[in-house]
């Protein structure tokens, strides 16, 4: 099929020359792994020491990968992007590692607000939250490990479950699909079981609740098939975001340290095969809603080809493509121009609280083979097309 992702004019249509140059220098810096490690350490230290670095961070990496510090901050970017390119946005409250009930309740409040915003705006077709935004990591882990909860922990877990139901009920009433992100494998099983319960309640007529499968885990295809059998028995639709994953190095290090088999596929090819097999499985079965969360061109072309062969309208809302804001615009904007449903994950939150997310993005760009190089080559191509001096 036509290589639509080669169109850099469309890919960078929202960037001025100055913004394109800024992106160029940012990715030039990110491609150097040693600089990323040093920069990450220095940033963590500076924020912990309350040094005045937030302005620098916001003007560079934060501005490139995030929508703003609040929901309202994001609206101009959301509306401008949708108006000019038809690319949608998903507001992602990217605050991680919180521990208090007050912080979890605040995340619920913000998620409810994004659902209300999505109901009012065509440019925002989904809402999203992270499991650890609504409850403690250690609590999920304890349940995943089948440990007995004490009386206080049982009450705490009931509050976590209640938070999930509050936002899912609101999403169902608003008709807004709700994406629930995946996290580390050693806490994920408890999340999976809770999401199965939510799907059985809220996905009777269509997919409102979407889970996430990290396909760099070799067991996820079997889990998808198991979930499908449960869905057929209980009569609910499956909504699933398929991604490769974001915690690979941490997963492998923990497995090695604790002496168990790594849950990660043996190599990139195995991960790609696993990812594509999950797409094929979902595409071949009824009552499945796919959100293809990938920066991989080949996987994206594969699904486009399947939709074309099967004469499925590109705007069919059971199929969505998604990328992170600030990355792979050549995929996002060219897909949207071709008529497909596309949404950018648009992180937001206070600068210091979003830093773990930003550091992971920088580290991912250095560890994923070719990711930063591809971004740089596309930017260089567009700078040459615009005749911007090096």
Give the tens place of pLDDT for each residue, 170-211: 999 999 999 999 999 999 999 999 999 999 999 999 999 999
Dist CA 192 CA 172 (whole Å): 19
Is 287 strand, coil or helix?
A: coil
Which residues of the chain are modeled with pLDDT < 70? Answer: 1, 33-49, 51-53, 360-370, 389-390
- Its pTM stands at 0.93
Q: Is residue 305 part of a domain?
A: yes
Dist CA 77 CA 338 (whole Å): 21
Q: Is residue 369 part of a domain?
A: no
| Orientation of helix 151-174 relative to helix 185-202, angle to 10° | 50
pLDDT score, position 372: 78
Which residue range(s) make up the domain with 350? 69-360
Number of separate domains in the chain: 1
Q: Is residue 285 part of a domain?
A: yes
Q: Is residue 107 part of a domain?
A: yes
Q: Is residue 240 part of a domain?
A: yes
* Long-range residue pairs from 114-122, CB within 8 A, at least 24 positions apart, any chain: 114/71, 115/167, 115/170, 115/171, 115/174, 115/176, 115/178, 116/170, 116/174, 117/71, 117/91, 118/91, 118/174, 118/176, 119/174, 119/175, 119/176, 121/78, 121/79, 122/82, 122/88
pLDDT score, position 55: 77
Q: Is residue 36 part of a domain?
A: no
pLDDT score, position 102: 97
Give the H/E segment covering residue 129. Answer: strand 127-129
The CATH number linked to 165 is: 3.20.20.220
pLDDT score, position 324: 93
Q: Is residue 284 part of a domain?
A: yes
pLDDT score, position 111: 97
Q: Is residue 366 part of a domain?
A: no
């Amino acid at each position: 099929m036509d290589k639509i992702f080669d169109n850099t004019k469309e890919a960078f249509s929202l960037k001025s020359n100055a913004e394109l140059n800024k992106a160029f220098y940012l990715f030039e810096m990110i491609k150097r792994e040693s600089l990323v490690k040093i920069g990450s350490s220095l940033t963590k230290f500076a924020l912990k020491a309350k040094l005045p670095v937030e302005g620098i961070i916001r003007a560079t990496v934060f501005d490139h990968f995030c929508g703003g510090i609040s929901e309202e901050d994001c609206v101009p970017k959301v509306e401008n992007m949708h108006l000019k390119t038809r690319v949608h946005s998903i507001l992602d409250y990217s605050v991680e590692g919180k521990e208090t009930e007050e912080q979890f309740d605040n995340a619920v409040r913000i998620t409810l607000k994004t659902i209300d915003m999505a109901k009012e705006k065509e440019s925002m077709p989904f809402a999203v939250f992270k499991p650890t935004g609504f409850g403690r990591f250690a609590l999920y882990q304890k349940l995943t490990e089948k440990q007995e909860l004490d009386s206080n922990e049982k009450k705490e877990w009931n509050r976590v479950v209640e938070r999930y139901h509050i936002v899912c009920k609101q999403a169902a009433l608003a008709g807004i699909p709700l994406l629930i992100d995946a996290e580390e494998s050693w806490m994920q099983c408890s999340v999976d079981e809770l999401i199965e319960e939510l799907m059985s309640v809220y996905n009777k007529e269509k997919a409102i609740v979407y889970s996430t499968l990290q396909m760099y885990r070799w067991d996820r295809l079997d889990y998808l098939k198991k979930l499908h059998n449960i869905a057929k028995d209980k009569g609910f639709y499956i909504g699933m975001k398929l991604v490769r994953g974001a915690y690979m190095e941490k997963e492998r290090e923990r497995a090695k340290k604790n002496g168990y088999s790594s849950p990660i596929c043996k190599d990139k090819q195995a991960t790609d095969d696993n990812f594509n097999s999950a797409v094929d499985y979902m595409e071949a079965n009824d009552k499945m809603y796919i959100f293809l969360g990938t920066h991989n061109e080949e996987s994206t072309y594969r699904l486009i080809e399947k939709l074309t062969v099967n004469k499925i309208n590109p705007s069919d809302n059971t199929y969505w493509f998604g990328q992170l804001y600030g990355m792979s615009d050549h995929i996002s904007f060219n897909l949207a121009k071709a008529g497909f449903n596309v949404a950018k994950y648009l992180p937001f939150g206070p600068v210091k609280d979003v830093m773990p997310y930003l550091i992971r993005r920088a580290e991912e760009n250095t560890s994923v083979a070719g990711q930063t190089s591809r971004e740089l080559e596309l930017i260089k191509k567009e700078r040459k097309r615009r005749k911007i001096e090096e």
